[in-house]
Each structure stands twice: as structure tokens, then as C-alpha cells.
Amino acid sequence: MDSREEGEHRGITRRFLLGGSAAAAVGFSTQPTSAAAEALEAHAHRLWYRQPAEKWTEALPVGNGRAGAMVFGGVARERLQLNEDTLWSGGPYNPVNPSAHAALPEVRRLIFAGLYAEAQALADAKLMARPLKQMAYQTAGDLLIEMPQLAQAEIRDYERELDLDAALATTRFAANGTRFHREVVACPIRQIIAVRLSSDRSGAISCELGLSSPLQRRLVIEGDTIVLSGRNGDMGGVAGALRFEIRVRVFTRGGTFAARDGKIAVEGADEVTLLIAMATSFRHFDDTDADPTAFTPARLDAAAVKNFAEIAADAAAEHRRLYRNVRLNLGRSAAADQPTDARIRTSETATDPALATLYFNYARYLLICASRPKSQPANLQGIWNESLDPPWGSKYTININTEMNYWPAEVTGLAECTTPLIEMIRELAETGARTAREMYGARGWVAHHNTDLWRATAPIDGAQWGLWPTGGAWLCTHLWTRYEYGRDTKWLATVYPLMRGAAEFFVDALQRDPSTGFLVTNPSLSPENRHPHGASLCAGPAMDMQILRDLFDQTAAAADVLDTDAPFAAQLRTLRGQLAPDKIGALGQLQEWQEDWDAAAPERDHRHVSHLYGLYPSHQINLRDTPALAAAAKRSLELRGDESTGWATAWRINLWARLGEGEHSHRILKFLLGPGRTYPNMFDAHPPFQIDGNFGGAAAITEMLLQNRGNEILLLPALPEAWPAGSVRGLRARGACTVDLEWRAGRLRHAVLVSAVGGEFRVRLGARSVSVMLRPGRPVRLTGATLRARLDG
């Protein structure tokens, strides 16, 4: 260390000591912890079972971002249910109701007059989208592998598994003395799904291979390839505009194969490899003229130059590039030796901290598999869906669910996975500008509570659920979050127009509440709840005001960073101060509406806790700066109850973690991991399946270990007694900062921080805090005693 570096070292040490009240020593290390070098523990990265899947929610998912499959692990009949992320019903359409603009002033007048039911009836007739229902994500079909000779065989040593680290689904069993082995991988590099069938006996693989789909279709055999082509479905009067194609190419080592009754029959092979490619004619939300037959053969040709082992190795390497960014260890008990479904059945009573680790790892696996650059964003079911008309259309519900899908992305090292979400926001800004203009007569852009592949932005489903105008505004907070974590100013300049447009809409659309003088949204609602006046519609629900405070703050801050648009930033700050404030009601709760209606609301245990957005995911409400509002938020949580639908349960865990309530958070987490809210394959149960609970649960586990706002980093803010010892490597904090933690006996042993851009950070541990100056790329290892935990290297 030269004299200059030594002086900087002393300066950092002095700032750390002066910033906190602990009198312990501080240590530094220039060597970062290498998470990739740590040995992988199988129980933390493996789902496994002793029997095939009987139901779809027992099958195991693979995906490459664009194409996905659910693997059932059958013996005599294996099923791979297939999805392609642009295969949705309908086609490009404009759902804005042509009568909306003229009727809007009267709806607003009725709401301000307290005539809520009348306003809702008029809105249903005049404001809601045409068609009222958006388009649905649809299954592509099934690949069936039939081995009827095994139907009566004696099956031994059956096991199927999903290796989260290798992104590989495997089925193994012995039948009449022969051991069979099946592997499935979805390769993001080759954009195909590959299957290998093998055994330990020469010539033992005989099977029939077939494709089916519930959509309009044509099936032909072209030599070694099964080709299924067709069209997507109509919905709500919108004609299907997509063509799609699935190709399965068959490769055998030994044996023979031939076409038979619309299938390919393989006889006496030593090994069979199947390559699956899927495509649609989708190019863009307003362009369906691509040729799927130009993609599928080319993808198969490109993949065919490699054998299965090479394809699987490529897929694993690309998957691990993201998956291994974070390593979590919450401890282990004997329960981790049991099959995954058995662990889920007993999770609420057993001591199984490793199940939470597995759930966390599984969520990160799912996001990598469902959301990659050039794919669509993860929808309500990620990328996996077996229906033509799935629950809620498997759409993008942007009044919580789509946002929740991406809660763990930045903090768990998966920023790249947000790329499809950001592209969707760009596209919504286009369609949303049309909706803003035609429906509201406003500038900028708006999106309501749902969207689909075609980026529809008008309010759907009925005024009770859909007439909520802040979906696009909420999505824009993810743009600022991406900047905060990465600190890429050039990138921020590319998304600033999206933030500006979302804010500009509300500059035009906000209304002055005649009874209070505050600016409010009107019409709106508190998703998806009803108030005591026979309706959902209202003016200025708490969630809207909280979201707009974030939108205005973040857009103005972005303008400051970019040194642009100063007058508009000033205008937003002025308007922000005129938004209706949060209020505390008679029950001590944070009010959900402008009026104190919570106690009389029809569903006091409603799944949505929309008015608590300000606590999480926002940071407007917190224990230190707004203790009265934090106490009111806590009271609202108590009134709502802990147990709800899957995703709503996950949200509650995050909220309790923000309140520093580790034991309460863990108690709800055990419920989330139980059989009522987690299916045997670890998919989240709303019920039925919605993937947002998986992602929200992973975010909640992270919140219990690390919280971050601005330049503040909170270490172990809600650590429960159930995780007395553990470690995590690679968590991310704002300021392009990576954080590693290790704790023993509930006390933090050390934290290692490194920032790509550097800067001063305030590190909090319980009630105490320290100031740390980081130099770009230089790790700092902090040690020292504190009130609640200890950093002892």
C-alpha cells in the first residue's frame, strides 16, 4: 500500500468509527468473497420426487425465456406441455371505448358528489374497454413420448428431479432390470428445448413420438421431423392473427425410426435425442407478419451440430452466468433429505430452514427461465400455461402482480431479467398515449390494471376492477429502480421520456378535490377492493397518491441527474406537494381511501393491501422517518390478517419485514411454503397457480436479510430465530453495490461491500449506523460489535 492509499485507508476507517456508536475495531480486505468457488449443496438447488407428476402443478418447469415446457416424468407415457411466449389469443386491437371521453366529466362529477354506485354504473356503460376482456396467453400443445412396453413393467428406483443450478430436468427409473434415463433442457443460446432418452442396455429405447395442440392445426411428418402448425384463437370478437409452428426433430443412435399414424416410431435405439423449436408470426404488438417457418428449421439446424451433452453444457453455462450471482445458506436440518413434496406437506410444523433457501433459489431459477432479453416479460404464470383460457388470461396484471414478478430481480443479481419488462413499458407508452388522448384528452401515456401481448391499455373487466389509472405509473418506478441499482446515466437518458410521459399524463388528468383542495385521481379505485358505498370507484385512493409521489419524485430526480427539463421537474415537485396526504383512521390504521371507510369495508381481510404500497415496495413510510405512519401501516396489517392468497401472503411478509418484525415475517413465510399456498412442484398457489407469489416470497426472504434505500444499507433487519446461522453472497444494493453477509448465533460476523461506482454509504445494524466510503471496485470488509449483532470477521 503506497502512502496515498494508506491515507485513504485511514480516512475510511475514521469515517466508519465516527459514524457509529460501537467502539469496536474495523477491518478491511481487498479480496472479495468468491461465491462461484463455493461447493454447491444439492438440497439447496434440487427439487426431487419419488413418483411421476399426475397433475400439471406437480410437473417440473424448464424454459429459455421464450420457450418453456412442463415435464411430467411419466414412465410409459411422458408428457412435455409446451409454451411459446408470443402465442396469445387475438391480434392487434384498440380497446378504447369511443364514448369514454364524453362521459368522463359526468363520472367525475358523480364521484365527487358521493354518488359512487351511479358513477360506477355509468363508467361500466361508457368508459370500459371494448372488448371488455383482454386476450389470453395460450398453450402451444404437448409432446408425448409413449413407451407402452413399460405399462406393465415392474418399476424400481424411480426418481425425478429439477437441477436448478444446471437448469436440467431428469427422470430415472429401472424397468424389468433395465435402467432408463431421460433429460430435458431448454437452451437459451440455441433457442430450443432438447430431450435425451437413454438406458444402460443396448437397443432398449423403443417409443412413439407425437405432437398435439388444442388450437387449429395441421400435422405432417417430414422425414425425421414432426411439424405441427396452426393459428391462435379468437377472443372477445378479436380475430386470431398469429400463425405458429412447432417442430420436433428426432435423432437416434442405433435402431430405426419411421412415420406411423401421424407419429414417429422408434425401434431398438440405444439413445434418442429430440430437438424442439417453436415460433409464431409475432413481430411487434402491431405486426404479426413474421414467418414462423423461417425460424424453426433454422434453429433446429443450428442446434443439430451439437449433441445433447454439448447443448446441455451450453445451457447450463449460460444459466449459471446469472444463477450463480447469489448464494444463500439459511442452515440445514434432516428435513432437507426428504423429497420436495414431503417437505412442503410438513413445512408448517417441521424445522426446515433449507426449504426457504430452496424456495428462494427456485424463484430466481424461474425468473431466469421466464424473462430474458428478447423474450416477453414474465406473465401471471411466468411462461408456463396448459390452457387456452387460463385463470385471469395469464395476462400482465399491473396493479401488483407484474411488478411483484420483478421485485427480486435487482436485489438478487438478475437485473438483466428486467429487460423484457422495460421493453414492455416502452411499448405501453405507445399504446398508452393513444388511450390518454382518446379517453382522457390528456398528454403523456396511461395504462390501467391489466395488459396483454398486444399492449392494450384501456380499462378492462368492469369498472369495479379495471378503472384504475396508475398501472403505468407504477411500472415506471421500475425504471428508476434499475437506474438506482446500476447508476448508468446513459441508460437513464433512454428511459427518461417514458417516465416523463407517465408523469405528464397526471399533470393533465389530476383533479382538484372540491372538499379538500388536494389533487387526486378521479375516477380511480383501490385495487381490487370495494368501499362501503356499494362500489369500488372513488377519488384519490391512498395507493394512487403514494405511487404518484414516487413517480413525480423519481422523474424530477432523473431530470436532475440528466441536467435537463428543469421547469418540468419544478412543476412535478410543486404538484407533488399538492397531492392528498396519507391519513390515519379511527382504528389507528392507515386509511385506504380519502374517507375513513376501512372499518365498514365489505372485505376487511381483502387480499390487496394497496394502501401499504408506501411501506413496501416504496420507502415513503418507514420506522425511523415516519413512525406514526409506520405504526398505522402495522395496524392495517393486523386488521387485514396474515393469511391470504399466495401472492398477497408474500406481500405481507415483505411488509412485516420492512417493519423489522422478523418472527412475524417468518411465521407467514412458513404458511406461504405450506401445502395451502405452495403446490408440490413449488409453484405458488393463489390458488390456482400464479407465479408472482414465488417471486414475492423470494423478495421477502431478501428483505429479512438486507434492506436498502438511497445510500442506506440495513443489515439483517428482520432476521428470525429460525435462521440462527447462515450466509449470503452477491445481494445487491443501490449504488451498484454488492453485499455479502455471514452470521452466527443470530449475530452478524461480517459484511463485505463493494461498489462499481463508489460513494459514501450509511450502513445500519439495528439502532446503530456507520458511514463507509467505498472506492470503485474495492471491497471493504466491516467488522465490529454492535447492540444486536456482531461483525467479527
Average pLDDT, the chain: 93
On whether both 163 and 298 belong to a single domain, the answer is yes
Q: What is the CATH number of the domain that holds 19?
A: 2.60.40.1180
Predicted TM-score (pTM) of the model is 0.94
Q: How far apart are CA 382 and CA 85, in angstroms?
A: 9
On whether both 79 and 21 belong to a single domain, the answer is no
On whether both 167 and 316 belong to a single domain, the answer is yes
pLDDT band at 15 (very low <50, low <70, confident <90, very high): very low
pLDDT band at 42 (very low <50, low <70, confident <90, very high): confident
Would you say 170 and 52 are in contact if contact means Cβ atoms under 8 Å apart?
Answer: no
Comparing 12 with 220, which gets the higher pLDDT? 220
Residue 76 DSSP label: S
Q: How far apart are CA 407 and CA 360, in angstroms?
A: 12
On whether both 309 and 171 belong to a single domain, the answer is yes
What DSSP element (H or E) covers 342? helix 340-345
As for how many domains the chain has, the answer is 2
Would you say 764 and 714 are in contact if contact means Cβ atoms under 8 Å apart?
Answer: yes
pLDDT at 739: 98
The arithmetic mean of pLDDT across residues 238-242, rounded, is 97
Among 324, 342, 370, identify where a domain stops: 324
Is position 42 within any domain? no
Burial of 313 (0-12, 13-18, 19+ CB in 10 A): middle
On whether both 222 and 147 belong to a single domain, the answer is yes
pLDDT band at 566 (very low <50, low <70, confident <90, very high): very high
Cα 194–Cα 198–Cα 203 angle in degrees, nearest 5: 130
Kindly provide the b/e burial profile for residues 232-241, where b requires at least 16 CB atoms within 10 angstroms of the residue's own CB.
Answer: bbebbebebb
Is position 659 within any domain? no
pLDDT band at 218 (very low <50, low <70, confident <90, very high): very high
Burial of 624 (0-12, 13-18, 19+ CB in 10 A): exposed
pLDDT in tens, 775-791: 999 999 997 443 333 33
Domain that holds residue 199: 64-89+137-324
Q: Determine the length of the chain.
A: 793
Would you say 268 and 199 are in contact if contact means Cβ atoms under 8 Å apart?
Answer: no
Q: What is the CATH number of the domain that holds 166?
A: 2.70.98.50
Is position 690 within any domain? no
On whether both 79 and 195 belong to a single domain, the answer is yes
Is position 84 within any domain? yes
On whether both 168 and 23 belong to a single domain, the answer is no
What DSSP element (H or E) covers 655? helix 646-658
The arithmetic mean of pLDDT across residues 189-193, rounded, is 96
Is position 35 within any domain? no
On whether both 149 and 26 belong to a single domain, the answer is no
CB atoms within 10 A of CB 55: 10
Is position 305 within any domain? yes
94: left (phi over 0), alpha (psi -120 to 50) or beta: beta
User: Can you tell me whether residue 781 is helix, strand or coil?
Assistant: strand
pLDDT band at 1 (very low <50, low <70, confident <90, very high): very low
The arithmetic mean of pLDDT across residues 683-700, rounded, is 97
pLDDT at 792: 30
The arithmetic mean of pLDDT across residues 405-428, rounded, is 98
Q: Helix, strand, coil proportions of the chain in percent (round to 5)?
A: 35, 25, 40
On whether both 167 and 237 belong to a single domain, the answer is yes
pLDDT at 590: 98
Q: Find where cell 414465488 sits.
A: 694
Would you say 160 and 265 are in contact if contact means Cβ atoms under 8 Å apart?
Answer: no
Does pLDDT of 767 surpass 90?
A: no
Among 324, 339, 354, identify where a domain stops: 324
pLDDT in tens, 74-93: 999 999 999 999 999 999 99
On whether both 210 and 266 belong to a single domain, the answer is yes
Is position 107 within any domain? no
Among 324, 345, 378, identify where a domain stops: 324
Residue 88 DSSP label: B
Q: How far apart are CA 112 and CA 106, in angstroms?
A: 10
Would you say 209 and 264 are in contact if contact means Cβ atoms under 8 Å apart?
Answer: yes
On whether both 84 and 8 belong to a single domain, the answer is no
Does pLDDT of 16 surpass 70?
A: no
Is position 289 within any domain? yes
Q: How far apart are CA 322 and CA 47, in angstroms?
A: 19
Would you say 450 and 460 are in contact if contact means Cβ atoms under 8 Å apart?
Answer: yes
What DSSP element (H or E) covers 62? strand 60-63
Task: Please state whether beta strands 712-715 and 759-765 pair in parallel, antiparallel, or not at all (unpaired).
Answer: parallel
